[in-house]
Amino acid sequence: MGNNKQLTSQSEDFSAWYNEVVLRAELADHSPVRGSMVIRPWGYGIWERMQSALDTMFKETGHENAYFPLLIPMSFIEREKEHIEGFAPELAIVTRAGGKELEEPYVVRPTSETIIYSMYAKWVQSYRDLPVLMNQWANVIRWEMRTRLFLRTSEFLWQEGHTAHATAGEAEEETLLILELYRKFMDEWLAMPPITGLKSDSEKFAGAVNSYSCEALMKDKKALQAGTSHFLGQNFSKQFELTFQSEDGAEEYAWNTSWGVSTRLIGGVVMTHGDDSGLVIPPRLAPTQVVIIPILAGEETSGVLEKADEVLGRLKKLGVRAKIDSRDNLSPGAKYFEWERKGVPFRMEIGPKDLHNEQLALVRRLTPEGENRKAFLPETEAITKLPEKLEYFQDDLLEAARTRRDDSTVRGVNSFGELKEAFDSGAGFVYTGWSGNPAVEDTVKEQLKATIRVLPGEEFLSESSPRKCVSGDTDSVTEVVWARAY
């Protein structure tokens, strides 16, 4: 597929648009391994920025990084009944190594609760050893049948936090602390504002008591589960004898939490901000925030290149991630096209005319309706104002995404018919009452292809709570948010 070919438009086929953008903006590529992807430098650069921001947030809240093995004894996975049932179809299992059959098969890490809590059991003796607050950056394998780059691949990168506490209250507090940390990270870095809340029992993590989730709305009005935080109770502690001596001398089981986000977030950023020209990367995540494109013309070429170098140096001193695209085998137009597709927030054009006028042309990747994308600015202003312009761009993206989410949210839906009508009319998130009966979930899932995304947290609740279940025949015990999801 030629790189200069127009993308399929979002309105024509959002799914095709997404796949084309990921490949042609060089975020990732299909690999020779079924269902696994190669993350290319541009995509990995975005992941590194996410990692760095999250890692800082984890450390600021007292968490430390560690690393645990990729291979987990099969018997460990089998100990937690719900856990094995939840993961059974997705497990990749090693049965031969070193030229012979293994006595016990190993599972390639689908998630690490079992191996981590078996180690905590070794390290924790007393209440003085708690809490244990660890995180690991790792890869996991879940043998997916239907895969899509970033959104669902057999192997993906993620972080998984695992903690042990002396009381249920402390563990619940940790679960909600991380949920809020994720929400803040998604708002401030990804400009992808999620709604947060509790998962219904049918949607929770295998082996958890409670699962909480961040649900973000994509441009095609589908929800993306962007991050989860789980209160595990004592389920895993009991299986792995993770006990401690309490202050009054009694032996008690620890209380656990686990939480994670993955490279799926890159897919979320693509579908939250991208347009028919390609990616739009929030400035805080962009590996390159401004690309300098020298317009080379005959004898003035060396002067233009010198100016580009000087501008690059000045931008770097201001903390702006910038680079010069001085490839001589591409026209300026072809370069503009490529960097637009890659979603770089700003491009700076420098030609002979700009040298004479002591100006720079600054082009913003996306501008509010009616504003000019291209501005000719005095050189010093173009450079010194860039950090501020990047912040404005970041804020604008968050505001636009929040407006889209809120405009696509329908509240006060009281019957199955109204729920259907809301989805048929293009709703994203739909709020209704729910009796707590899983049969209602099953009916909606079967007939409308929608699921309960969350029982919304306090700040996302409707002003007045619904009195009737969406089924129409019983009272509501809680408000829920439905959506069609990835």
Contacts of 283 (CB under 8 A, 6+ apart): 289, 345, 390, 391, 393, 394
Query: Residue 47: helix, strand or coil by DSSP?
Result: helix
Nearest to 19 by CA among 30, 4, 35: 30
Question: 25 is written with which tokens?
Answer: 């903006």
CB atoms within 10 A of CB 11: 10
Contacts of 378 (CB under 8 A, 6+ apart): 358, 359
Question: 174 is written with which tokens?
Answer: 């940790």
408-483 has which CATH code?
3.30.110.30
Phi, psi dihedral angles at 114 (to 5 degrees)? -65, -50
Q: What's residue 2's pLDDT? A: 44
Question: What distances in angstroms separate CA 447 from CA 28, 37, 223, one per listed residue?
Answer: 35, 33, 18
CB atoms within 10 A of CB 25: 24
Q: What's residue 346's pLDDT? A: 98
Q: What's residue 274's pLDDT? A: 98
Query: What span, in angstroms and rounded, lies between the C-alpha atoms of 349 and 295?
Result: 7
| CB 224 within 8 Å of CB 216 | yes
Q: What's residue 4's pLDDT? A: 65
Query: What span, in angstroms and rounded, lies between the C-alpha atoms of 364 and 282?
Result: 12
CB atoms within 10 A of CB 446: 8
Helix ranges (H only) for 318-385 are 332-342, 352-357, 379-384
Give the pTM.
Answer: 0.95
| CB 419 within 8 Å of CB 480 | no
Helix (H) / strand (E) containing 350: strand 346-350
Q: Tell me which DSSP letter residue 166 carries.
A: S
Nearest to 45 by CA among 274, 289, 214: 289
Nearest to 409 by CA among 74, 401, 64, 77: 401
Nearest to 397 by CA among 183, 184, 190: 190
Contacts of 2 (CB under 8 A, 6+ apart): none
**DSSP-assigned letters across all residues of 92-146:** -EEEEETTEEEEEEEEE-S--HHHHHHHHHHH--BGGG--EEEEEEEEEE---SS
Nearest to 166 by CA among 259, 234, 241, 230: 234
Q: What's residue 3's pLDDT? A: 58
Q: Show the beta-strand stretches assigned E in 295-345.
A: 322-324
What topology is assigned to 290-388 in CATH? Rossmann fold (3.40.50)
What topology is assigned to 14-273 in CATH? BirA Bifunctional Protein; domain 2 (3.30.930)
Q: What is the pLDDT along the chain (486 residues), one digit of tens a residue?
A: 345 689 999 999 999 999 999 999 999 999 999 889 999 999 999 999 999 999 999 999 999 999 999 999 999 988 877 766 777 788 999 999 999 999 999 999 999 999 999 999 999 999 999 999 999 999 999 998 888 999 999 999 999 999 999 999 999 999 999 999 999 999 999 999 999 999 999 999 988 999 999 999 999 999 999 999 999 999 999 999 999 999 999 999 999 999 999 999 999 999 999 999 999 999 999 999 999 999 988 888 889 999 999 999 999 999 999 999 999 899 999 999 999 999 999 999 999 999 999 999 999 999 877 788 999 999 999 999 999 999 999 999 999 999 999 999 999 999 999 999 999 999 999 999 999 999 999 999 999 999 999 999 999 999 998 999 999 989 999 999 999 999
Nearest to 157 by CA among 69, 36, 288: 36
Residue identified by tokens 């979320």 is 268
Contacts of 481 (CB under 8 A, 6+ apart): 195, 197, 215, 429, 430, 431, 452, 453, 454, 455, 456, 460
Query: What span, in angstroms and rounded, lies between the C-alpha atoms of 381 and 385?
Result: 6
Strands across the sheet containing 71-73: 71-73, 100-108, 93-97
My answer on whether omega of the bond before 131 falls inside 30° of 0, hence cis, is yes
| CB 228 within 8 Å of CB 213 | yes
Helix (H) / strand (E) containing 30: strand 28-30
| Structural domain boundaries in the chain | 14-273, 290-388, 408-483
